[in-house]
Amino acid sequence: MIRRIIVAVVRFALRIYFKQIEIVGLENVSLESPVIFVLNHPNALVDPVFLLCLAPRRVSFLAKAPLFRMPVLGFFVRAMDSLPVYRRQDEGEDVSKNEETFIAARKLLARGGTIGICPEGVSHDAPGLKPIKTGAARISLAAVSTHEVSDLKIVPAGLYYTSKTHFRSSALLYFGKPIGVEPVKLEPDGSVPRDAAKELSAKIELSLREVILDAQHEEQLITISRAERIFSSDEESGMSDSLADELLLQQRFVKAYSTLQSQQPERLRKLEVRMIRFEEELRQSNVEPDELAAPKSTFDVFAAIVRRTLLFMLMLGPAIIGTLVHFPAYRLGGYLATRLSRDSEDMISTIKIMSAMLLFPITWVLAALLVYFLFGLIPGTVALFVLPVCGYIAVLFFEELDQSLGGLRVLTYFLTRRRFFIRLIAERKAIRNEILALGKESPVGE
């Protein structure tokens, strides 16, 4: 019961924090046989929470032992049926206790359960996958080789964030093709042979790389993201709003980038410079690449203005109330994330979400009490339920306002600086054509 309540609350928090959440590959997850999910780990506690709340199975996680001793986190970790992992880098931990954890994990799998593991072993800000540990492979091989478990599947679960530090960004949870696990001959002491564990770990690592954005270095990741933004913003690209399509395109760009860097480095460098200059022009004009489109007709423009004006009139009152009530807690959450993350970007969203789950309910209760003392019980009770709705309307209001201002800027440029506007569109098209040409010349970019 406690687990269900926690999962429901955290799932709701995720849906608010992320503007878009997309789940792909559910057909790859068995609903009956035991499963080990292996997950990349770029975003601290947000990563396992995604799997806990959005996977089609009840998942128990392997979590580092220090979490179990933390006053608040320890309660949640235990409530999620997590199993402790003892790591050498954690001071004072006895790694020999991991044998007990592995036995408990095998028993859980034998009951048809599922386990979630982050095989990188640590959350990080690296642009790609870190070398993975062999724990998932050893648990899997031991479980099937002792005949405690049959038909075990390892399912790679990739997380892709459009911006892992920002409120109202988007996230993709991508379940890849399952990996079957075959029994091996165990060592005399019952342990898994090192070569077998390394071989299965290599398969796990390869399968994870297929469901994530795996760049070699930060410079490459920045270039790839820039190319995807420009390429996808052109109407001729035929790109949908699907995060899975966005990830697939960036994966193709990563493969092509590596080839071009060795075969045509000068041409690649010129394209990078051209994209930087183009985005700098857009930045100075305060225009996003996907806003760069000529208005379709006068009627469409007029209809859009009328529609948004009516929408703003309806939302304005609740949005003002929601902003005034929630802004102090919102700013405090941002301040705490900046201070407590200590320049570790992978911790920022975790702190923001945790602080929001604490500060906003306190805000609602205090505001409702104020209304109660000023106006009575019924208005105070109504305020307690209405204020969260006003807060969400405020979020939607400012998103719509930002989009409307962007459209107004584009319309202004189109009417007052048409030659400049058309030149930007032509430059974007030229960059897109150069990306296509390089892709055709690079076999791995196909």
Q: Which pLDDT value is given to residue 80?
A: 87
CA gap 164, 238 in Å, rounded: 26
Q: Which pair of structure tokens corresponds to residue 276?
A: 């930087």
CA gap 186, 201 in Å, rounded: 17
Q: Which pLDDT value is given to residue 17?
A: 98
Q: Which of 173-177, 304-308, 329-333, 388-392 has the lowest mean pLDDT?
A: 304-308
- For the chain, the C-alpha Rg in angstroms (whole number) is 25
Q: Which pLDDT value is given to residue 294?
A: 82
Q: Which pair of structure tokens corresponds to residue 169?
A: 């960004």
Q: Which pLDDT value is given to residue 298?
A: 81
**8 Å CB contact between 396 and 311:** no
Residue 446 pLDDT greater than 50, yes or no: no
Using DSSP, state whether 250 is helix, strand or coil: helix
Q: Which pLDDT value is given to residue 296?
A: 75
Residue 441 pLDDT greater than 90, yes or no: no
Q: Which pLDDT value is given to residue 237?
A: 63
Q: Which pLDDT value is given to residue 238?
A: 62
Section 205-227 average pLDDT: 96
Q: What is the DSSP letter of 68?
A: G
Tens-place pLDDT, residues 2-33: 899 999 999 999 999 999 999 999 999 999 99
Tens-place pLDDT, residues 160-214: 999 999 999 999 999 999 999 999 999 999 999 999 999 999 999 999 999 999 9
Q: Which pLDDT value is given to residue 239?
A: 65
Q: What is the DSSP letter of 77?
A: H
Helix H or strand E segment including 355: helix 345-375
CB crowding 298-336: b at 16 or more within 10 Å, else e: eeeeeeeeeebeeeeeebeebbebbbebbeebbeebbeb
Residue 445 pLDDT greater than 50, yes or no: no
Section 363-383 average pLDDT: 98
Residue 442 pLDDT greater than 80, yes or no: no
For the chain, give every domain's residue range. Answer: 2-209, 218-292, 298-426
What's this model's pTM, rounded to 2 decimal places? Answer: 0.93
CA gap 46, 182 in Å, rounded: 32
CA gap 132, 32 in Å, rounded: 27
**8 Å CB contact between 48 and 157:** no
Residue 87 pLDDT greater than 80, yes or no: yes
Residue 419 pLDDT greater than 50, yes or no: yes
**8 Å CB contact between 59 and 87:** no
Q: Which pLDDT value is given to residue 388?
A: 98
Q: Which pLDDT value is given to residue 443?
A: 60
Task: Say what percent of the chain tops pLDDT 70.
Answer: 98
Q: Which pLDDT value is given to residue 444?
A: 54
Q: What's the 3-state SS for the chain?
A: CHHHHHHHHHHHHHHHHCCEEEEECHHHCCCCCCEEEEECCCCCCHHHHHHHHHCCCCEEEEEEHHHHHCCCHHHHHHHCCCEEECCCCCCCCCHHHHHHHHHHHHHHHHCCCEEEECCCCCCCCCCCCCCCCCHHHHHHHHHHHCCCCCCCEEEEEEEEECCCCCCCCEEEEEECCCEECCCCCCCCCCCCCHHHHHHHHHHHHHHHHCCCCCCCCHHHHHHHHHHHHHHHHCHHHCCCCCHHHHHHHHHHHHHHHHHHHHHCHHHHHHHHHHHHHHHHHHHHHCCCHHHCCCCCCHHHHHHHHHHHHHHHHHHHHHHHHHHHHHHHHHHHHHHHHHHHHCCCHHHHHHHHHHHHHHHHHHHHHHHHHHHHHHHCHHHHHHHHHHHHHHHHHHHHHHHHHHHHHHHHHHHHHHHHCHHHHHHHHHHHHHHHHHHHHHHHHCHHHC
Give the chain's mean pLDDT.
Answer: 93
Section 46-72 average pLDDT: 93
Query: Which fold, 2-209?
Result: Glycerol-3-phosphate (1)-acyltransferase (3.40.1130)
